């Protein structure tokens, strides 16, 4: 058995593994894909002390740093269930089970896709999911935000300070965002809100997004918006489906509930990063949370005997 088994190989998992391994304890990472969401990111400008880097480059440095500490890295394996019998057991989809005294869950999240033609083709070429990350790339341009919930309206307000103009495109005939956000958005001179609009296609010129089409659901007419960027804000889904029915408490939306030391409701199991209730989902925040969870797990180990 391991002392600490980290499930997930994104920024949170990598930081957790390094902090654990530095305590001289037996540490492993099991992950479907090392690097996590970072592998899908092109420019990163908010990883403090590194003015500019690219996702695959950061992921390669994470892996190198982890391996420098002799962490066992098991990739292309998916955790399918978790249980406890003294040790924490992580059952893999392949049929094997990994045992550890403590486990750190860092399985991240994924943005809900629009599932329309052009979205995948133009991802990172104008189709974006994170306004804090990619907003500045659209300075002085026209953009659309898809989704009129809190995250969509927050994104529109955030972007309106940087870009020339924002159009919010909402499927329903009302906005779900809090009133105070709606008021703020309507008070800004450069945000338009279109409701009852079903996004049908991302339009590109072969290399970049140039617009998007939507169906006006009141008339059935297809209309076009000329925009350089499309921010998809229709939900962030935590990768925690495999924890449903376990002893680990999740919120209604599937986020793992953690305390200030990263502890979950199951003793010996810690969690960090985008899969948890942490309010902001960013690389630097996930790394800090990974370090916290590892120190929390170490604290647990020195207080509990091996079974
Ligand atoms: P993730 O990066 O999601 O990693 C999750 C890990 O868990 C992966 O290794 C995955 O394979 C693994 N996993 C999932 N389920 C299982 C399972 N059942 N079994 C085993 N392994 C599993 N943030 C910034 O700070 N700056 C940016 O510029 C930026 N740009 C972004 C651009 C894009 C396109 C996206 C999608 C995100 C961006 N983000 C950015 C957000 C940032 O990438 C995330 O906040 C961060 O990666 C979260 O780290 P994490 O380790 O919690 O999860």
Q: Which H/E stretch holds residue 62?
A: helix 55-68
Query: Nearest 5°: CA angle at 169, between 163 and 174?
Result: 130
Pairing verdict, β 97-105 and 72-75: unpaired
Question: Ligand 1 pocket, 15 CB below 6 A?
Answer: no
Closest alpha carbon to 147 in 170, 118, 165, 131: 170
Please state the pTM of the whole predicted model.
0.89
Does the structure's ipTM exceed the value 0.85? yes
Q: Smallest Cα–Cα separation from 122: which of 274, 237, 232, 234?
A: 232
Q: Atom 3 in ligand 1: which residue has the minimum CA distance?
A: 108
User: Which of 239, 250, 270, when mutated, tests ligand 1's pocket best, judged by the most ligand atoms within 8 Å of its CB?
Assistant: 239
Q: What is the pLDDT along the chain (307 residues), one digit of tens a residue?
A: 999 999 999 999 999 999 999 999 999 999 999 999 999 887 899 999 999 999 999 999 999 999 999 999 999 999 999 999 999 999 999 999 999 999 999 999 999 999 999 999 999 899 999 998 899 999 999 999 999 999 999 999 999 999 999 999 999 999 999 999 999 999 999 999 999 999 999 999 999 999 999 999 999 999 999 999 999 999 899 999 999 999 999 999 999 999 999 999 999 999 999 999 999 999 999 999 999 999 999 999 999 998 8
Question: Distance, CA 32 to ligand 1 centroid (Å)?
Answer: 12
In terms of Cβ atoms closer than 10 Å to its own Cβ (0-12, 13-18, 19+), residue 204 is middle
Cβ of 106 below 6 Å from ligand 1: yes
Q: Ligand 1 in contact with 53 (CB < 6 A)?
A: no
Verify whether ligand 1 is closer than 6 Å to residue 31 (CB atom). yes
Write the residue with the smallest CA distance to atom 6 of ligand 1.
8
Strands (E), 71-141: 72-75, 79-84, 88-92, 97-105, 109-111, 127-128
* Cα–Cα dist 53/163, whole Å: 23
CB of 7 closer than 6 A to ligand 1? yes
Task: Report how far ligand 1's centroid is from the alpha carbon of 291 (Å).
Answer: 16
**Beta-carbon neighbour count of residue 302 at 10 Å?**
8
Longest dimension (CA), the chain: 68
CA distance 111 to 237: 6
Asked if 104 and 270 count as a contact pair (C-beta separation under 8 A), the reply is: yes
284/287 Cα distance (integer angstroms): 5
**Separation between Cα atoms, residue 167 and residue 187, nearest integer Å:** 14
Contact 266, 243 (CB under 8 A): no
Contacting residues for 197 by C-beta, under 8 A, at least 6 apart: 169, 170, 171, 214, 215, 216, 217, 223
What is the three-class DSSP state of 120? Answer: coil
- Distance of CA 108 from the midpoint of ligand 1 (Å): 5
- 3-state SS assignment for residue 263: strand
């Amino acid at each position: 058995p391991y002392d600490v088994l980290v499930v997930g190989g994104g920024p949170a998992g990598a930081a957790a593994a390094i902090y654990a391994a530095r305590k001289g304890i037996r540490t492993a990472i099991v992950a479907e894909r090392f690097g996590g969401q970072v592998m899908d990111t092109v420019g990163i400008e908010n990883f403090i002390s590194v003015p500019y880097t690219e996702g695959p480059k950061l992921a390669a440095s994470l892996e190198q740093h982890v391996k420098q500490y002799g962490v066992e890295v098991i990739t292309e394996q998916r955790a399918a269930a978790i249980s406890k019998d003294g040790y924490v057991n992580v059952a893999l989809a392949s049929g094997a089970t990994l045992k550890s005294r403590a486990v750190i869950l860092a399985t991240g999240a994924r943005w809900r896709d629009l599932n329309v033609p052009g979205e995948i083709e133009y991802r990172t070429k104008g189709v974006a999911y994170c306004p804090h990350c990619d907003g500045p790339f659209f300075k002085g341009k026209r953009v659309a935000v898809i989704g009129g919930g809190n995250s969509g309206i927050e994104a529109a307000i955030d972007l309106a300070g940087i870009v020339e103009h924002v159009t919010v495109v909402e499927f329903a005939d009302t906005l779900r965002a809090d009133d105070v956000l709606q008021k703020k958005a309507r008070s800004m001179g450069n945000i338009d809100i279109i409701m009852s609009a079903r996004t049908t296609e991302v339009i590109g010129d072969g290399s970049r997004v140039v617009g998007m089409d939507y169906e006006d659901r009141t008339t059935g007419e297809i209309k076009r918006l000329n925009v350089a960027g499309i921010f998809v804000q229709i939900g962030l889904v935590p990768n925690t489906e495999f924890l449903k029915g376990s002893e680990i408490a999740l919120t209604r939306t599937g986020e793992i509930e953690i305390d200030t030391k990263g502890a979950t409701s199951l003793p010996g199991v810690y969690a960090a990063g985008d899969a948890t209730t942490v309010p902001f989902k960013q690389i630097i925040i996930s790394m800090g949370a990974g370090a916290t969870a590892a120190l929390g797990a170490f604290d647990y180990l020195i207080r509990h005997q091996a079974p």
